[in-house]
Structure 1
């Protein structure tokens, strides 16, 4: 899918799961994003980091197709991305299995195939045996696991074209663990990394937590305060513990500089 608007710069999408070039977004007199360039490779885990109100969620909504840029270009090599939000947003009247199965049913996948995939996905997020429970019977962490399985059902399905060849799958995550307690959040971060390595999907993960970004991402992308633009990037994948702590400190300092410069403007 390609969305091209006035003032856009056309660039090929070869080797990318998603590419944004010169993306602007305005809401009336407010400019939320200004000239964002971002390229995410197939299978890459990228964390978008920035202060509250910097446009992280706006950017994610544009990639997801939930909003359109005011100018610039968006290119996707996958089908429609799957999105996971802060809240699990499960259908309360459906079982956990039925929630996971829903995007497959809407996509016209056969009953036998979607049942099979649902069992596989619930097992992948370590929820085998709870498919018959409804959301109110599950803990907050378990509901987020169901939401992850549902997002994967959508992402991995749309990542395959009608000819059966595989295109890059893309999972967009908007601070999905922020409402959870610290212990549950740590567990689900580890689970997300395990699931990501198992599926090979590209992930764009929005957070305001520097430590979370460094722990999860292969690359951390820092956005400026509004209007959001990319100001710096760090390669952070597989850092030793000592370097991880140092990198967290460096990024925290740079984030404080970005916030301070905005406050002084």
Structure 2
């Protein structure tokens, strides 16, 4: 069954991938300042799959950038309890002059891994995303879905710490794909997540995608973003899943309407 939560699910320190406490982010200064996030409290457990929803401009991508250390919060604390997180974007952003294998290998090379270790790990990851026969192909020779699989393997290469843990930050990675490919990759992502034990913080505008993929769905308010609702969505029956989708959609419409009326 589903339960609506009014506060983040509590976790012990040893069970955490990341904790955000009172996180605020302001861009600019003075009258031109824009507050993107204000007072965000959020925890993601080790190995947990959390989906982040909200209206356009509510600060979802900003939040991912802060967790990834691509930017710094104006106020508040972000405490990472995993190896360095990796980000996967809507576009695969592969190096076009490198093969699929060399793209996956790149973060391992930057981390100082030896050649034999890099090649063995790359082969494992390409096999994990079911691209073991495509390592020698360059991005332009791959379909959109295959490029995103390579991007996923590369992200895993940069975030896994050898103990099967890590934190994967995903910013609408399937939004640019056709419906059939997106559906396939959603299933593949769940398989890879279960195989690796990584925590996932997944941004999406698609409520059904969030309910299908996540163990927990978190809704941000319109700008400035803050956590306003959470739903536990683990182990839902099909009838319950539709009920939760309807409930989350209603809450999202309420957030958008309240912003428009302000």
Q: What is the TM-score normalised by the length of structure 1?
A: 0.92
Of 113, 116, 120, which residue of structure 2 is paired with 1:116?
120
Alignment counterpart, residue 68 of structure 1, candidates 42, 67, 72: 72
Q: Does 1:251 align with 2:243?
A: no
1:3 aligns to what?
none
Residues 94-243 of structure 1 mapped to structure 2, 5 A cutoff:
94-156=98-160, 159-160=161-162, 166=163, 168-243=165-240
Query: Which residue does the alignment assign to 1:16?
Result: 16
Matching residue of 2:6: none
Q: Is the 8 A contact 1:48 1:207 kept in 2?
A: yes
User: Which runs of 5 or more residues in structure 2 are unaligned?
Assistant: 1-10
Would the aligned equivalents of 2:107 and 2:158 in 1 still touch at CA under 8 Å?
yes
What's the CA shift string for 1:184-234, capped at 9, x where partnerless?
A: 000000000000000000000001110000000000000000000000000
**Is contact 1:78-1:167 (8 Å) kept?**
no
Partner Cα separation in structure 2 for residue 50 and residue 260 of structure 1: 12
Aligned-pair Cα RMSD in Å: 1.3
User: 1:8 maps to what in 2?
Assistant: none
Q: Could you tell me how far 1:14 is from its partner in structure 2?
A: 3.9
- Number of residues of Structure 1 aligned to a counterpart in Structure 2: 248
Match of residue 82 from structure 2: 78
Identify the residue that residue 4 of structure 2 maps to in structure 1.
none
Q: Deviations over 1:76-121 (max 9, x none)?
A: 0112201100000000000000000000011011100110011110
The 3-state SS of whatever aligns with 2:231 is: strand
Cα pair 1:13 1:75 within 8 Å, conserved: no
User: Normalized against structure 2, the TM-score is what?
Assistant: 0.93
Contact 1:13 1:19 in 2 (8 A): no
Unpaired runs of 5+ in structure 1?
Answer: 1-10, 161-165
Give yes or no for contact 1:219–1:235 (8 Å, CA) kept in 2. yes
SS at match of 1:83: strand
Larger relative contact order (Cα-Cα within 8 Å, sequence gap ≥ 6): 2
TM-superposed deviation, 1:237: 1.5
How many Å separate the matches in 1 of 2:180 and 2:234?
23
2: CA distance, partners of 1:150 / 1:207: 21
Structure 1 residue ranges, 4+ long, deviating more than 2 angstroms after superposition: 11-15
* 1:167 shift after superposition: 8.0
